[in-house]
Amino acid sequence: MSFNPAKRKAFSSGSSGPTGASLRRAKTFDARTLAVQSTDAALSVTGELDVAAYASARAFEIQALENGIQRSKNALTTRAFQKVPRALRRRTASHNVKRVPRRLRTRAKREMIEDNTPTVTARRRKPTQVMRIRLESARRLQNLNARTKNKRLAAKLARDQETNNQLKREGSHQFNIAPRIPKIKKNKLSRPPPADAKFRKRQKCKTWLPTHLFHAKRAHMATSKNPLWRFAIPLSPTEKSYRPTHRAHGARGAIAWDMSYMSTIQLEGTESSIEAVLRSVGINGEEAWGAKGKKWRTGTRSLHAWTYEKNHPTRPTAPVRLIWCVQLQPEDVEMVDAKNAPATPKIPLRKLWVRVHPSAFLQLWNDLLVASKHQNPPVMIEDLRFEIGSIEISGPGSTEALQTALRPFPGSDSQSPASESPANTWSALLGVSNPASLPQNALLSFNTTDPRLEFPPRTLNIPDSETQMNDLAVLLSKWTPDHTQGPSSLFDRPSRLTASRQLPSQKAINRRRTLAGPGKFPSPKPTDPQIPVIILANRSQTHLKRNSAPGSWTVLLPWKCVLPVWYSIMYYPLSSGGNTRFGGVKQQQQLSFEAGEAWFPGDFPGTQAGWEWNQHEAEKARLEWERRPKGRRLEYDSINLGNGQPKGEIGKGWACDWGRLVQGPPQETSSKGAPSGNEACDTSNFSIPPSDLHNVRFSTNDTNRIISNLTKSPIGANALSTVQVSLIHRGTPTPCARIYRLPTTPLREKWLALATENQKCRKEKTEPQKSSDVLDEEARRQLTESLISGVPEDSPSGHLEIPAEGDLIGFVTTGNYNLSEGKGTGIGSILLSKAIETDAKLSEKKLCIVRSSGEIVGRLARWEIV
């Protein structure tokens, strides 16, 4: 390919010169032009071919081709700042070479000069007239404030000097008064901690998490006008993270969340009174008060349970996690004279923590408050929302990341044997890659050191020998902390305040690191803070038998100690490569969905918190739908569902219309101005839940047994059950998709035939393949049948008809392609009374039809109770 000068016009003498675009175009064209050599020299006068000259010409062209490929690659097709990996990309890298890695800075600087990119920094840019006035005013006020501060400081020094002189004359000395420990108000809601003056205006209607400044740079946050549960909560990372989250959770790496927005309620009283309060909110059963709950009542295990409304025992409130404080057992009994012995021995008081989602905190708080006042002796309730922070982390590398951040304080477990203490047990768990392998609801409590003293963290050596793995298996089977666990200092408020107040500043930490020397960590001091922590091992709570989701760790610690631990986790270099990822609310929804679990509150519309969440999501979807032009949005009122149904989507097309599901279609009117089904539903008050709509929970994991029991003893008409929907054939359910039961009309047999065909396909995969002649004959027969029968007019592309609205049983609240199962699944809720009221077989009752909102194609699926 040779350069042709006729393709490009030369610049005329009268022009002002080449522009930047033309120069870039010429440079790119030149880089993609390949030099060639004529082959005439390879021919002699007689016409004979000179092989050596011909081969030399071809070698020259091959070399020119290679050079042209390399030049074209670097000819401004991609800029230097565009070649940075996704995790290192920065917005300012296009005009600031300092934001580009060192290996690309020279190239980036050259490209900015060639493109005349403005690279003036903000502090060196000449200010405008308005900005100059503002800067002068700010400088004037700053000088005035400095003079005022100096006067106040001089007056304070004079008063202190006068006080010291007076004390010396009186023969006394100066002393400092210890600060008063603020007490938490009993039975009253707590207030958020006072924010720094610099950020006070930004926290008028919300509270920042301890790691807010970390997340605000790297994540999409909840908006200031609509904060989530009055907190500034990260929603998702700014970079694409759907597949990386899946990999970090189950394959390689780790992912962490700041869960400090979870609410903590403390109950303090006698054990019998606390038990009565918990029973009043629906915490019953063998796992709590029977033989199975013995370890939980002693404080060595935690408990997952559901609470229910006080006046409505069938209406759930929220899932909670309960943690008892370990009670010390007296070893020695003091001999007391019978005459001096007290008439009634004093009953020891115990403490219990209730961890609940912030969306249901106020509802549960009111129920506990009413129940505690009816006890004798009464139970004191404290709001610890801004006292206790928490971090959750999961993934194969979660244990090693926590090990570097939570190093036991030397001598923190003086009451336990050295080899069986919870601190030593925690240090021996380095080889655990799945927290679900620990005993169910396991708990560890000890004091840790300040992780900033050993920052930046270093990669730990993961044990991989057979002997170490056998020792780890023995440790998990014995689990000695059930007998050696002592009371946690985290339950003691003075200990929490001491740990928070003794945290040294970052400047003090840097001074100690400087004195320690390069590559060495500062030596510990007796005055270093002891951070009390409680580590909880979590595992999946779903009832699905095929569930194999990995577990996670939850760390409870003082609110002000969350940030040092968080930075140590985030910057730990994992042994598998990379660093720990962070997640937001959407990542929690994603991982719960992949594990087949229902995410609270979004997947529980039968609770008050879940109803409010669905209402909020429906309002957002409605506003987004209305913002679109009419030509670019889906008109739900014009959808033809066929099967003799009126035009229009069932209920609100952009939401899960539970009111329409419970109350049925609106009454038809004869007036011409009667609104359609979609418009009529808008007039209803969506903020008020339908009467008696509630979720039901089952203790067993066998869906067939549940259906059999419900057939014998009917359930309420408005009882919702959370289910997982798995499509039998291809397709992916989307949020707000409609779930139908199989119709009772002749259409039912056609839908059942699809399930039969799926079973036949599975059998054919295991059978040996047929010959080509047989396959050709079957193909001809199927083609002949399709040409004779044709496609029904009311069926789109040969799909079966959609059942009528009377067969609607629920909605999909979360749906997407499930990376764990490799197919489309969904989490939804169905009305059990409508799902099991038919006289069909047990296997057919679990079959359903899923249709995405706004579509006219249904997919056959199967539901399982989760």
The rounded distance, in Å, linking the Cα atoms of 429 and 676 is: 62
Q: What DSSP string runs through 716-765?
A: -TTEEEEEEEEESSS----TT-EEEEPPSSTHHHHHHHHHHHHHHHHHHH
Q: Which of 251, 266, 277, 76 is CA-nearest to residue 183?
A: 266
Tokens found for residue 290: 């029977």
Percent of the chain predicted with pLDDT > 90? 51
CB contact set of 285 (below 8 Å; sequence gap of 6+) = 305, 699
Helix (H) or strand (E) holding 129: helix 129-169
**Top-confidence residue, 701 or 835:** 835
pLDDT, the chain, mean: 84
State the average pLDDT over residues 488-498: 94
Q: Which of 283, 267, 356 is CA-nearest to residue 320?
A: 356
CATH of the domain spanning 618-666+674-765+794-865, picked from 2.40.30.110, 3.40.50.300, 3.30.1330.60, 3.20.130.10: 2.40.30.110
The rounded Cα 728 to chain-centroid distance in angstroms is 29
Tokens found for residue 393: 């982390």
Given phi > 0 = left and psi -120 to 50 = alpha, else beta, which region is 413?
beta
CB contact set of 563 (below 8 Å; sequence gap of 6+) = 210, 211, 214
Q: Please state the pTM of the whole predicted model.
A: 0.81
* Token pair 């003090």: residue: 508
Tokens found for residue 579: 């660093």
Given phi > 0 = left and psi -120 to 50 = alpha, else beta, which region is 438?
beta
Strand-strand pairing, 207-208 and 231-232: parallel
The whole-number pLDDT of residue 513 equals: 93
Helices (H) and strands (E) in the chain, counts: 26, 22
Tokens found for residue 248: 């970090």
Q: Going along 248-387, which residue ranges are E strands?
A: 255-258, 263-269, 302-308, 316-324, 350-356, 380-383
Helix (H) or strand (E) holding 824: strand 823-831
The whole-number pLDDT of residue 673 equals: 41
321 and 556 in contact (C-beta within 8 Å)? no
**Top-confidence residue, 277 or 729:** 277
Exposure string of 839-864, with b = 16+ CB inside 10 Å and e = fewer, is ebeeeebbbbbbbbbbbbebbbbbbb
Lowest model confidence (mean pLDDT) among 61-65, 672-676, 722-726: 672-676
Helix (H) or strand (E) holding 244: helix 242-250
Strand-strand pairing, 694-695 and 808-818: unpaired
The whole-number pLDDT of residue 681 equals: 44
Q: Which of 585, 588, 576, 654 is CA-nearest to residue 622?
A: 654
Q: Which of 541, 534, 551, 536 is CA-nearest to residue 306?
A: 541
CB contact set of 609 (below 8 Å; sequence gap of 6+) = 317, 318, 357, 359, 360, 363, 600, 601
Q: Which of 422, 553, 438, 391 is CA-nearest to residue 488?
A: 422
Percent of the chain predicted with pLDDT > 70? 81
State the average pLDDT over residues 114-131: 79
The whole-number pLDDT of residue 461 equals: 92
The rounded distance, in Å, linking the Cα atoms of 142 and 125 is: 22
Tokens found for residue 594: 């992949």
Helix (H) or strand (E) holding 399: helix 398-405
Lowest model confidence (mean pLDDT) among 741-750, 767-776, 844-853: 767-776
- With a cut of 90, say whether residue 664 has pLDDT above it: no
828 and 725 in contact (C-beta within 8 Å)? yes
The whole-number pLDDT of residue 412 equals: 63
CATH code for the domain defined by 263-327+347-388: 3.30.70.1400
The model's pLDDT over 51-71, given as tens digits with 9 standing for 90+, comes to 777 777 778 788 888 887 777
The model's pLDDT over 601-622, given as tens digits with 9 standing for 90+, comes to 999 999 999 999 999 999 999 9
The whole-number pLDDT of residue 12 equals: 45
Tokens found for residue 570: 């985030």
